[in-house]
């Protein structure tokens, strides 16, 4: 349902802000499901070996993990309708184990699907205009975007039309379906980076030049994994009409020069690092100059058509500040905490952006039960034009809530176990599934997140600490973005035991930096103690208004290392 559906528009709070498949899209996704159904049939019959079948299942997001298959469903730029969220819940109940895991790529993973059921699951997804295509493999993956897109006060332009444009360009792109390695793109249109564009293969920042023209600053060669790099600017201002051609040129350069002899050196970040950004820029500019750009010329009509789907919903004219909100905060301290921590300013007067934390104290970061998914769908329809977002921080965003409705929404969320007031705080931890689910993992990450969360369970203490990003990965592939955590934790194997390496000083924003290793690895049991010592030291050292990363930058890494060394000498087992 969209603004283009008159039936839908008659409903109050009906979904309005989503891309709607056209006949081509719908037919393509249906054909793909039918194709995969046949591939599964041939696999089960023995006509295809596992070696032959594996690329097909991966192209449809189906992995084989530690305990079962895992299906990764694409959520383009993290935007979902209530109807889609309900379908995700129904799939979790019918074919999985009643829950799903929201990922750092704004996607959703089911941990227990059966191979034989997967075609039916994909069919159910296609019914609501969803799929799992290009959520795996050496192709351009789900394009991510700022989860506050379209509603942030600091935004130049909603990045989602660009992201959708790129999705259409990159979907089954014949030249880029077998790249040297996977390729991840993120887009932001805001002055503050909430999409971590500096650590993507390509990051796009929507900017305006001196003459007021909209364009893109293009960053390439960022990435995490075993060799983390902050991206470098390859195009300072690429006008919109050149964007696709410019990206095409980058992809061609990567496809031509990217290493295929060693998968660990195959990402574009290695190419940029080894050749240098000046060489890469020269190659891209040469390719751009030589190519037939007419094929990739910007189609403003199509861009506007896409932008129309993602247009703002029909907001009411409201006062800037809600008296009801003020009164409810005074009456109910728990709600006041939620409103202070999980509610962000909206560009439209009288509205608010709500972050629904999927990080209850001691919970599994990013997990939501099917009942919680339905509660979120209901909440979005009742209070937010039926739209939801998934953040790369593994939370759910309700982007259009009237301030007057915040208290009623909070009560609804609270009843569903979704009102933890910790967005951005120390217990709002990003964590990959780690060895509890993932076959690549070298250690568990979820129990570490749970232990830290419990250690800092006192919410007033969390608020005193303030914004602090802890990010945990269960292996060097860094799905938990540990390199860019103010405090990063990496799970490794050391002499047959799980061991955790801690880094400090990571930053995923425009001022991006890669965390520095604190010292030798520690055991799982020691991690909460170490984190607590670091936080206490920060609290003792911080100056007015300083976040953890600011203090770390001001006083230096060595001081943090020293405090741990001293604590160790005093008897703490660190």
Partner 1 sequence: MAQFKHPQILIASNLTDGEVVFLGASGWERDHRRARVARSAEEAAALEASGKRDICANRVVDVYLADVEIGGDGAPTPMHYRERMRVKGPSVRLDLGKQAAGGAP
Residue 492, strand partner residues:
499
DSSP string, 429-445: -EE--GGGT-SS-SS--
Residue 64, strand partner residues:
69
Q: Which of 11, 94, 114, 305 binds partner 1 (CB under 8 A)?
A: 114
Regarding 50 and contact with partner 1 (CB under 8 A), the answer is yes
Minimum CB separation of residue 343 from partner 1 in Å reads 29
| String marking each residue 229-248 x if it binds partner 1 according to CB under 8 A | --------------------
Regarding 311 and contact with partner 1 (CB under 8 A), the answer is no
Minimum CB separation of residue 69 from partner 1 in Å reads 4
Regarding 64 and contact with partner 1 (CB under 8 A), the answer is yes
Q: Which is nearer to partner 1, 450 or 551 (CB)?
A: 450
Q: With contact defined as beta carbons under 8 Å apart, do 269 and 257 qualify? A: no
Cα(207)–Cα(197) distance, rounded to whole angstroms? Answer: 14
Q: Which stretch binds partner 1 (CB under 8 A): 3-11, 114-122, 231-239, 561-569?
A: 114-122
Q: Which stretch binds partner 1 (CB under 8 A): 67-75, 168-176, 411-419, 515-523?
A: 67-75
Query: How many alpha carbons lie under 13 Å from residue 516 in its C-beta half-sphere?
Result: 10
Q: With contact defined as beta carbons under 8 Å apart, do 387 and 377 qualify? A: no
Q: Which helix (H) or strand (E) holds 69?
A: strand 69-73
Residues from 404 through 443 that contact partner 1 (CB under 8 A): 435-437
Minimum CB separation of residue 498 from partner 1 in Å reads 7
Q: Which is nearer to partner 1, 480 or 508 (CB)?
A: 480
Residues from 450 through 509 that contact partner 1 (CB under 8 A): 450, 496-498
Helix 50-59 vs helix 23-45: crossing angle, to nearest 10: 160
Distances (CA, A) of 394 to 102, 104, 108: 6, 6, 10
Minimum CB separation of residue 432 from partner 1 in Å reads 13
Q: Which of 77, 112, 148, 537 binds partner 1 (CB under 8 A)?
A: 112
Regarding 260 and contact with partner 1 (CB under 8 A), the answer is no
The residues, any chain, with a CB within 8 Å of residue 222's CB and separated by 6 or more, are: 197, 198, 199, 200, 201, 203, 229, 230, 231, 232, 269, 512
Q: Which helix (H) or strand (E) holds 325?
A: helix 323-331
Regarding 364 and contact with partner 1 (CB under 8 A), the answer is yes
Is residue 497 classed as helix, strand or coil in its secondary structure?
Answer: strand
Q: Which of 68, 348, 492, 555 binds partner 1 (CB under 8 A)?
A: 68
Q: Which is nearer to partner 1, 113 or 505 (CB)?
A: 113
Regarding 165 and contact with partner 1 (CB under 8 A), the answer is no
Q: Which is nearer to partner 1, 145 or 364 (CB)?
A: 364
The residues, any chain, with a CB within 8 Å of residue 416's CB and separated by 6 or more, are: 371, 372, 375, 376
Footprint of partner 1 on this chain (CB under 8 A)?
A: 43-46, 50, 64-69, 97, 111-116, 364, 435-437, 444, 446-447, 450, 496-498
């Amino acid at each position: 349902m969209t603004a283009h559906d008159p039936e839908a528009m008659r409903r109050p709070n009906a979904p309005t802000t989503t891309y709607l498949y056209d006949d081509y899209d719908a037919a393509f996704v249906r054909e793909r499901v039918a194709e995969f159904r046949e591939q599964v049939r041939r696999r089960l019959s023995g006509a295809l070996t596992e070696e032959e079948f594996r690329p097909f299942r991966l192209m449809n997001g189906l992995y084989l993990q530690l305990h079962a298959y895992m299906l990764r469903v694409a959520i383009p730029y993290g935007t979902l309708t209530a109807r889609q969220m309900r379908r995700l819940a129904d799939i979790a109940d019918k074919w999985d184990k009643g829950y799903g895991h929201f990922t750092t790529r704004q996607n959703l993973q089911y941990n227990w699907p059966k191979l034989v059921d997967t075609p039916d699951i994909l069919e159910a997804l296609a019914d609501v205009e969803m799929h799992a295509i290009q959520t795996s493999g050496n192709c351009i993956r789900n394009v991510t975007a700022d989860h506050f897109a379209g509603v942030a006060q600091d935004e130049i332009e909603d990045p989602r039309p660009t992201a959708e444009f790129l999705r259409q360009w990159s979907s089954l792109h014949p030249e880029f379906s077998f790249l040297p390695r996977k390729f991840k793109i993120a887009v932001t249109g805001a002055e503050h980076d909430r999409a971590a564009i500096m650590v993507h293969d390509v990051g796009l920042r929507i900017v305006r030049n001196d003459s007021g023209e909209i364009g893109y600053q293009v960053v390439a060669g960022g990435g995490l994994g075993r060799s983390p790099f902050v991206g470098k600017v390859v195009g300072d201002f690429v006008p919109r009409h050149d964007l696709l051609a410019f990206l095409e040129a980058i992809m061609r350069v990567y496809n031509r020069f990217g290493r295929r002899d060693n998968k660990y050196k195959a990402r574009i970040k290695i190419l940029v690092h080894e050749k240098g950004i000046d060489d890469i820029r020269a190659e891209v500019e040469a390719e751009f100059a030589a190519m037939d750009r007419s094929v990739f010329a910007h189609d403003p009509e199509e861009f506007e058509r896409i932008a129309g789907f993602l247009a703002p919903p029909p907001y009411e004219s409201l006062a800037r500040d809600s008296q009801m909100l003020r009164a409810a905060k005074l009456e109910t301290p728990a709600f006041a905490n939620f409103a202070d921590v999980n509610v962000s300013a909206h560009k439209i007067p009288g509205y608010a952006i709500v972050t629904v934390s999927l990080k209850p104290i001691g919970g599994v970061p990013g997990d939501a039960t099917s009942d919680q998914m339905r509660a979120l769908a209901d909440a979005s329809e009742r209070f937010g034009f039926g739209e939801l977002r998934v953040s790369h921080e593994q939370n759910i965003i309700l982007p259009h809530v009237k301030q007057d409705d915040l208290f009623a929404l909070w009560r609804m969320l609270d009843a569903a176990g979704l009102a933890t007031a910790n967005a951005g705080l120390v217990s709002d931890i990003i964590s990959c599934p780690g060895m509890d689910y993932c076959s690549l993992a070298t250690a568990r990450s979820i129990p570490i997140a749970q232990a830290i969360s419990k250690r800092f369970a006192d919410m007033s203490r969390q608020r005193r600490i303030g914004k602090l990003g802890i990010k945990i990965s269960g292996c060097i592939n860094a799905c938990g973005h540990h390199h860019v955590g103010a405090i990063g934790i990496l799970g490794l194997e050391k002499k047959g035991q799980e061991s955790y390496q801690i880094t400090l000083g990571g930053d995923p924003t425009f001022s991006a930096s890669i965390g520095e290793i604190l010292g030798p690895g520690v055991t799982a049991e020691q991690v909460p103690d170490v984190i607590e010592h670091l936080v206490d030291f920060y609290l003792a050292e911080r100056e007015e208004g300083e976040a953890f990363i600011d203090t770390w930058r001001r006083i230096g890494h060595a001081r943090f290392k020293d405090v741990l060394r001293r604590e160790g000498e005093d008897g703490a087992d660190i």
